[in-house]
Chain A
Amino acid sequence: MKIISKEIIADYAGTRIVKLTLSSPQISVKARAGQFVVVMADEKGERVPLTIVEADSLAGEIALIFQEAGLTTRILGALNPGDSLYALAGPLGHATEIKNYGRVILVGGGVGIAEIYPVAKSLKQAGNITTVIIGAKTKGLLILENELKSVADKIYIMTDDGSSGEKGFTTSALEELLKKDKYDLVYAVGPLPMMKKASEATRPFGIKTIVSLNALMVDATGMCGCCRVTVGGKVKFSCVDGPEFEANQVDWEELGKRNSIYLDKEKHICKLKF
């Protein structure tokens, strides 16, 4: 649970994206692409799920990447090497099904880029031809570009303001690619509207599309049902049934509403503490 190293991987106009490398021999051995951990920054902290971005079983370390957005991520971002988290448990959720699908597109938006990285790496190792689309608001918030280049056969970079790569959204790039070529799998992680848009983009082509959902969680082991989502008309728990689901089956509207249950409290506590 000890922090080995800390890196500010993006810092633009007051928004920071932080990478923490933690000592956790047990989790580093078990972690597979697509899985997450639950962390508590301190004794009074929330339990929050974070994707395992890297796992080094030899060093006994795992890496987490998050954008400082709410109170908990800001507290985490203020920790330094040598500090320990109050709690760290995992690896949780199902791992991504890694096999040779053929031609795969991975779409990462914002801090979601961090979540597609381990999956892209594993899919590449499994023999897939990987096309990666990453996007951010602006160049200063674009992360893991080099890491993804190393596991991508082709990479497309999109920024809202055109400061890096093409100007536009990741989903526009996705639509373009789908029109030109045949693909076997699309894997998308990012803000909820982006994932929804990605699922709409692939639907006409009937391509299997996987998203990793960012539902709110408490225990993250199936005990509370806070993270329930409707997928294909059935209620699923993101923590134990997911976090990945077939994108075209997800009830996005419901998830969007459920994820905003505590927005007022989040604003209130951030004002108080920062």
Chain B
Amino acid sequence: MPKEPVKVKELPVDKRIGNFNEVVSGYSENEALSESSRCLQCKNPVCISGCPVSINIKEFIFQITKKDYAGAYLTIRKTNNFPSICGRVCPAEYQCRRACVLNKSKLAYCSPEAINIHLLERFAGDYGMKDNLEIVQDKNIKLSKIKAAVVGSGPAGLCCAGELARKGIKVVVFEGLQSCGGVLRYGIPSFRLGRQELDHEINYLSKLGVEFKTNVIIGKTFSLDELFQQGFSRVFLGLGAGVPEFLGIKGENLCNVYSANEFLTRLNLMSAYKFPEHHTPVNIGEHVLVIGGGNTAMDAARCALRLQKIKGIKPDVKIIYRRTEAEMPARRLEITHAKEEGIEFKFLTQPKEFYSDDLGFVQKLNCRNCRLGEADSSGRRSPVILEGSDFSIPCDLAIIAIGLQANQVLTSVTPGLKTDKYKDIVVDPKTMETSIKNVFAGGDIVGGEGTVIEAMGMAKRAAKFIIDNA
């Protein structure tokens, strides 16, 4: 039995930074067999408790060891509708892999010894996709009379739609943009999640009978009440945390200061990196600064670097973060990839003010150094600004990636829908039902920014309640 974890193949750096192709290749059959054989098949598989949707990890890994890949695929599909997506974007090192008994790390994220559960999940998911394996629908005559509306086609919405449709409930998904996927489409770049895989997972839902209506903004095109008038008896709101936060410092509205959402949407949803073939423009600079330490910051930085390379500019992208690497909320893999690709990190640095040239374009960022102080409510040590440590960094393009807030397009026009002080929707955590009967919510619109799989966990809870109480 091999003791060493099986490394996954990745595109070499020089082959990846000039394009948006997927970086991680995924396991071959032999690699998957070898990695799965490292699993101890624990009597008490604690890894499962680390998964927000409780995938039977032990079982599907066992099936891989027996070359029953279809079985592994179906085992995952039982609790997770999107193995090919989650196998690529889940922060497994903070979740199932952190719980794996082979993990030797006491940190928030696991050590390399933990089984590469996400890569095995991806292997099984992609196997099922290639063979077009479909899960048998578990239709129920009573449920087929129910019509459910799902608002938003991001991870939460897609997951809820899948869970309901599998039981025979008629589901219509309403999406405000021109294509489905939510943050998986506009936010996560194709070098992390191939568009083919995303399209496949969405098509899978269409095969289950889910209907998608794009360009419909609930709260604008239709109100929540109107959905009920149209014959929907249950509504799930997966509205997302779509509104970018800004630093609130001077010069933040200068030209070429972007929110990460805008920069990523232009590139990922609107294919601005293919300008002028695609008509949406995006600017790039010679010295790019990205402010923030989460996955969105990593995505924005890596996109900017690729754009520089495509435009023939010598890559220069720096990430500015006010804490240190240990406190960065990004997936460890994204940090590693960003470093490999040549992105520079400036830790313990707090932006103070942007300055511009005569035309109003950003020219430099003044910053101050920080030190780590006491732990805050998130358990991370807070940055304390060192007075008098001012310095400036030249930059002709800056991207702010410091977080997102609730999207209020629907909640602001729906007075009966109770929200908290962050404008997130208040739900009963057991059922995910909102203050309006038969209206459920999940994903980032509940409890703020989380991961794809956490959103799916909430969506599943809502779907279960809808099904059990039909």
Residue among B186, B216, B252, B281 making CB contact with A262, cutoff 8 Å: B281
Cβ proximity bits B266-282 to A, threshold 8 Å, 1 near / 0 not: 10001100011111110
Given contacts A222-B243, A228-B253, A254-B253, are A44 and B271 in contact (CB under 8 A)?
yes
Q: Does A208 contact B (CB under 8 A)?
A: no
Residue pair B280, A222 in contact (C-beta under 8 Å) = no
Residue among B244, B255, B408 making CB contact with A257, cutoff 8 Å: B255
Nearest A-chain residue to B276, judged by Cβ = A269
Residue pair B261, A224 in contact (C-beta under 8 Å) = yes
Stretch at the interface among A89-97, A113-121, A137-145, A169-177: A89-97
Given contacts A26-B221, A47-B270, A219-B265, are A261 and B177 in contact (CB under 8 A)?
no
Which chain B residues numbered 266 to 305 have a C-beta less than 8 Å away from chain A? 266, 270-271, 275-281, 283
Q: Which of A40, A219, A254, A269 gathers the greatest number of chain B CB atoms within 10 Å?
A: A219
Cβ proximity bits A182-223 to B, threshold 8 Å, 1 near / 0 not: 000000000000000000000000000000000000110111
Nearest Cβ on chain A to B228's Cβ, whole angstroms: 16
Given contacts A88-B215, A218-B270, are A71 and B255 in contact (CB under 8 A)?
no
Q: Does B214 contact A (CB under 8 A)?
A: yes
Q: Which of B176, B215, B221, B254 gathers the greatest number of chain A CB atoms within 10 Å?
A: B215
Which chain A residues numbered 50 to 71 have a C-beta less than 8 Å away from chain B? 71
Residue pair A222, B409 in contact (C-beta under 8 Å) = yes
Q: Interface size of B by Cβ–Cβ distance < 8 Å? A: 41
Nearest Cβ on chain B to A125's Cβ, whole angstroms: 23
Nearest Cβ on chain A to B296's Cβ, whole angstroms: 13
Residue pair A225, B214 in contact (C-beta under 8 Å) = no
Mostly, the A contact residues are mixed
Residue pair B220, A235 in contact (C-beta under 8 Å) = no
Q: Does B359 contact A (CB under 8 A)?
A: yes
Residue among A92, A266, A269 making CB contact with B220, cutoff 8 Å: A92
Residue pair B178, A225 in contact (C-beta under 8 Å) = no
Residue pair A222, B242 in contact (C-beta under 8 Å) = yes
Q: Does A268 contact B (CB under 8 A)?
A: yes
Kindly list chain B residues whose C-beta atoms are within 8 Å of the C-beta of A225: 243-244, 246, 259, 261-262
Residue pair A269, B275 in contact (C-beta under 8 Å) = yes
Residue pair B265, A223 in contact (C-beta under 8 Å) = yes
Residues of A within 8 A of B (CB): 1, 26-27, 30, 40, 44-47, 71-72, 86-92, 218-219, 221-226, 228-230, 235, 240, 254, 257-258, 260-262, 265-266, 268-269, 272-273
Q: List 8 A-B contacts (CB under 8 A).
A: A26-B222, A90-B220, A222-B409, A224-B259, A225-B261, A225-B262, A235-B253, A257-B254
